[in-house]
C-alpha cells in the first residue's frame, strides 16, 4: 500500500479533532496537517450522538474555565461571526431533595460557582410547582415510588447561562475554518488499524523496536495505507484504548455507553405545556432538567417540538471496550424499564409517551472526571471529556495546540491563560469533579 508523510496527523474528526486541527493549522500555517476519520463526514461519531447540552455549572475550577470560555466562544461564533449553532440558553435545572441540596458537596459546589462568578439561582419547591406544569414533588403514600427509591423535589438549582446547541453545526464551523487554511485534503472513510511504533532512531534491525531502544509513535497504519508524521494527535474518545493499548500507552480513561430517546410533544397537550414552560429563560421553554433520582434527565428540542431523554446511570452500567460499533445500538427495553418509570413519576405529562427515535454513543471517563490533554512518545492525546467534550471543545483544542507548539501556557477565548500541561498525566493540576451527569 501507499505511504505518505505529513507534519501532523489528527485521528478523529469529532468536535475535539476538528477544533484541534483548526487551531494547530491556524497557529502553524506552514505545517501539513492530515485529518483522518473512519466515518464519511466530520462529526458523525459520538459528537453526533451526544445530548449536545452545554453548561459552566461545575464544581471544579478546571471544568469551570474549560466550559465557560468555550461557551463564550460559541456565543461569539453565533452572534458575531453569524454561524448559527442553534445555541439556545435554555438553562440547566437540577431538581434536588432536601438532603441532596443541603449535602456538603452541593454547598461547596454553589460556593465555588459563586467565587468563580458563575451565575445560578435557587428555586423553592413552591416556586417550582408554580412554574412547571404537573411537576410531582412529593411521593408520600406512593408505594411504587418508594420501591423505586425516588426522592422528592424540594429545591431547584438553575443556571441561566447554560443551554443546548446543534453539534453538527459546531463541527461544521471548525471544519469549514480548517478547510480554508489547510494544505492537505482531509481523508474520510479511513479506518485506522493501529499506531505505528518504531525505534528512535531506527537501526533497521529485524523485529525492532527492542526493549533497549527508544521508541516513538511515527504514524498510523490504515486500510488505505501508511501515513507518517512527526506528531500524531489522537482525538478518538471512547475508541482511544483500541489504539493506545496495543502500544502500551495507558489512556487513563474508560468508556461507558450512553443512550438518548426522542419524544415528540405535538400530539400531547400536556407535553406541549411542559415544553413551553415560561419563567426560566427568554426562549419560553423548559430548561435542560435533571431529576433527583437515578440520573434521568431531559433536554428541550425546540426544532423537533419535543424532548431528548437520557440517563447518566453509573453503578450497574459496565465500562466497555469500544472495538466495534455494536455498542452504538440503543436499547428500547432500557427506556421502557429503567428511564420511563422514573421520568413519568416526576413528570406525569410523559405518561404513555414512547420514543420516535433513539441512538447511543460512548462517554470516555477519566478518574477525576477532568479531561486529559498530554503527549507521550510522539502521540498527543485528547481524551476523557466524560460526556462534556462539546462544551469544553474550544478550550481543549487551544490547550492541545499550545502543547503541540511547546508553549508553557495556552490562551483560551477571552484572554484567560492556563498552563498547557495542566491536563497532562504527569504534571496534572486539577481537582476532582463531583458534578457529572
Could you report the per-residue pLDDT of 253-304, keeping only the tens digit for each? 999 999 999 999 999 999 999 999 999 999 999 999 999 988 999 999 999 9
pLDDT over 90 (residue 125): yes
Rounded to an integer, the average pLDDT of 195-222 is: 95
Residue 133 pLDDT class (50, 70, 90 cuts) = confident
Could you report the per-residue pLDDT of 359-412, keeping only the tens digit for each? 999 889 999 999 999 999 999 999 999 889 999 999 999 999 999 999 999 999
The alpha carbon of 28 is separated from its chain's Cα centroid by a whole number of angstroms, namely 27
* Residue 91 · residue 158 · CB < 8 Å: yes
User: Could you give the CA distance from residue 353 to residue 130 in angstroms, rounded to a whole number?
Assistant: 24
pLDDT over 90 (residue 437): no
Q: Residue 181 CB: number of other CB atoms within 10 A?
A: 12
User: Could you give the CA distance from residue 414 to residue 128 in angstroms, rounded to a whole number?
Assistant: 35
User: Could you give the CA distance from residue 70 to residue 393 in angstroms, rounded to a whole number?
Assistant: 7
* Residue 268 · residue 50 · CB < 8 Å: no
Percent of the chain with pLDDT over 70: 98
pLDDT given at position 327: 65
Domains (ranges, CATH) in the chain? Answer: 3-50+169-253+368-419 (3.50.50.60), 92-159+254-363 (3.30.9.10)
Query: What is the helix (H) or strand (E) element at residue 151, kind and residue range?
Result: none
Q: What's 327's DSSP letter?
A: G
Q: How far apart are the first and last CA of the chain?
A: 45
Of 396, 403, 361, 401, residue with least CA distance to 382: 396
Query: What is the helix (H) or strand (E) element at residue 295, kind and residue range?
Result: none
Residues 6+ positions from 82 with CB-CB distance below 8 Å:
none
Could you report the per-residue pLDDT of 311-367, keeping only the tens digit for each? 988 888 888 776 666 667 899 999 999 999 999 999 999 999 999 999 999 889 999
Q: Residue 332 CB: number of other CB atoms within 10 A?
A: 12
Query: What is the helix (H) or strand (E) element at residue 375, kind and residue range?
Result: strand 372-376
pLDDT given at position 2: 76
- Note the pTM of the prediction, 2 decimals: 0.95
Could you report the per-residue pLDDT of 144-187, keeping only the tens digit for each? 999 999 999 999 999 999 999 999 999 999 999 999 999 999 99
Percent of the chain with pLDDT over 90: 89
User: CA–CA distance from 45 to each of 65, 328, 335, 359, 435 (Å)?
Assistant: 26, 9, 22, 11, 25
User: CA–CA distance from 365 to each of 180, 248, 256, 291 (Å)?
Assistant: 33, 19, 8, 22
Q: What is the DSSP string of 227-289?
A: EEEEEEEE--GGGHHHHHGGGT---S-EEEEEEEEEEE-TT-HHHHHHHT--SSSTT-SPPEE
pLDDT over 80 (residue 233): yes
Amino acid at each position: 500500500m501507499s505511504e505518505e508523510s505529513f507534519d501532523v496527523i489528527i485521528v478523529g474528526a469529532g468536535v475535539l479533532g476538528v477544533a484541534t486541527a483548526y487551531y494547530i493549522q491556524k497557529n502553524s500555517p506552514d505545517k501539513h496537517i492530515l485529518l483522518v476519520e473512519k466515518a464519511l463526514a466530520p462529526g458523525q461519531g459520538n459528537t453526533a450522538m451526544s445530548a449536545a447540552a452545554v453548561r459552566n455549572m461545575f464544581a471544579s475550577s478546571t471544568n469551570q474555565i474549560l466550559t465557560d470560555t468555550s461557551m463564550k466562544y460559541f456565543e461569539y461564533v453565533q452572534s458575531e461571526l453569524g454561524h448559527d449553532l442553534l445555541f439556545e440558553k435554555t438553562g440547566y435545572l437540577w431538581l434536588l431533595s432536601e438532603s441532596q441540596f443541603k449535602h456538603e458537596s452541593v454547598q461547596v459546589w454553589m460556593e465555588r460557582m459563586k467565587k468563580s462568578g458563575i451565575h445560578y439561582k435557587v428555586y423553592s419547591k413552591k416556586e417550582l410547582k408554580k412554574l412547571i406544569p404537573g411537576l410531582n414533588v412529593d411521593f408520600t403514600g406512593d408505594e411504587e415510588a418508594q420501591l423505586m427509591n425516588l426522592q422528592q423535589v424540594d429545591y431547584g438549582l438553575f443556571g441561566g447561562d447554560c443551554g443546548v446547541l446543534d453539534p453538527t453545526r459546531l463541527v461544521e464551523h471548525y471544519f469549514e475554518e480548517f478547510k480554508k487554511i489547510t494544505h492537505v485534503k482531509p481523508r474520510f472513510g479511513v479506518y485506522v488499524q493501529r499506531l505505528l511504533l518504531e525505534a528512535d532512531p531506527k537501526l533497521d534491525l529485524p523485529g525492532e523496536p527492542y526493549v533497549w531502544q527508544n521508541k516513538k509513535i511515527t504514524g498510523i497504519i490504515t486500510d488505505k495505507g501508511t501515513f507518517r508524521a512527526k506528531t500524531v494527535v489522537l482525538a478518538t474518545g471512547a475508541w482511544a484504548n483500541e489504539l493506545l493499548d496495543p502500544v502500551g500507552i495507558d489512556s487513563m480513561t474508560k468508556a461507558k455507553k450512553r443512550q438518548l430517546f426522542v419524544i415528540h410533544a405535538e400530539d400531547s397537550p400536556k407535553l406541549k405545556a411542559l415544553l413551553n414552560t415560561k419563567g426560566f429563560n427568554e426562549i419560553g421553554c423548559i430548561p435542560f432538567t435533571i431529576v433527583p433520582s437515578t440520573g434521568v434527565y431531559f433536554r428541550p428540542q425546540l426544532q423537533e417540538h419535543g424532548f431528548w431523554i437520557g440517563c447518566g446511570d453509573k453503578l450497574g452500567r459496565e465500562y466497555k471496550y469500544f472495538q466495534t460499533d455494536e455498542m452504538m445500538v440503543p436499547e428500547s427495553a432500557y427506556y421502557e424499564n429503567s428511564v420511563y418509570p422514573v421520568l413519568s413519576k416526576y413528570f406525569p405529562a410523559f405518561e404513555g409517551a414512547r420514543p420516535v427515535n433513539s441512538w447511543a454513543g460512548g462517554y470516555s471517563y477519566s478518574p477525576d472526571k477532568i479531561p486529559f490533554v498530554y503527549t507521550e512518545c510522539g502521540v498527543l492525546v485528547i481524551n476523557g471529556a466524560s460526556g462534556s467534550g462539546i462544551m469544553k471543545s474550544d478550550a481543549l483544542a487551544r490547550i492541545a495546540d499550545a502543547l503541540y507548539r511547546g508553549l508553557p501556557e495556552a490562551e483560551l477565548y477571552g484572554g484567560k491563560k492556563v498552563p498547557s500541561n495542566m491536563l497532562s498525566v504527569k504534571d496534572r493540576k486539577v481537582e476532582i469533579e463531583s458534578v457529572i451527569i
